[in-house]
Amino acid sequence: MNFEDLKEKCILVGVSAGIFLPFRLLVSQYFAEHWLGNLGFATAVSLLMIYLAKKNKLGRFGEILKNQIRKVVWGKSSRLIIILLLGFMVYFGTVIVLVNQGNTVYQEDKEALFQDMFSEEHASQIKLNGPGMEDSEFPGVSQIRYIAYVFSLSFAILNDMTGDWLASIHLILFMEQVEMVGLFWLYRKMFRPVSVA
């Protein structure tokens, strides 16, 4: 990577952080009381920036933006970026599902554990139902279900202790990954490949 490319990346990251972070904070504080309302604003700002860059209204920054987008979506790292985006999407989605399971399917077990953690006298035996094991089930499948059970209880308790912030943050991050995959696909349609270093 040459110095000019690194300089362009730093400028782009700095300007993007200077735009997106305050914008998301303002939107979530003043325009959208519910967190779902501020999803899609990053996409709208990104599309506005791309539109202005394509119309040559952003000057030198627009050229840097177009150049770096071409390098990212058509370069050697494009497959790695897609794999990372999909991997993060799976992780954030899995946490959301596990919190939901802990709050619905395993709610009684979660409440028993939660009460035992904060009671002054710990019970010697806590009765937990767990996922159980079926007769015709392979042993490996029951172990996977038990691991999911443990993570469901853990994430659900952690979500309760953070006042539902865990699930909310993971849902926002999940939706941002979906937005980024969509923008990545759109950028591949909008920007033709050029020779990249």
* Spatial contact of 164 and 24, defined as CB atoms under 8 Å apart: no
Is the pLDDT at 136 greater than 80, yes or no?
Answer: no
For range 119-148, the mean pLDDT: 71
The secondary structure of residue 39, as a DSSP letter, is T
Question: What Cα–Cα distance (Å) separates residue 142 from each residue in 104, 129, 132, 133?
Answer: 20, 14, 8, 6
Q: How far apart are CA 100 and CA 115, in angstroms?
A: 19
Q: Is the pTM of this model over 0.85?
A: no
Q: What does the mean pLDDT of the chain come to? A: 79
Mean pLDDT of 17-44: 64
More confident residue, 58 or 86: 86
Q: Which pLDDT score, from 0 to 100, does residue 93 have?
A: 92
Q: Which whole number is the average pLDDT over 144-168?
A: 87
Whose tokens are 């920007």? That residue is: 191
Let me know: does 86 contact 184? Beta carbons within 8 Å. Answer: no
Task: Assess whether pLDDT exceeds 90 at residue 135.
Answer: no
Residue 178 has pLDDT above 70, yes or no: yes
Q: What is the pLDDT of residues 86-103, one digit of tens each?
A: 999 999 999 999 999 988
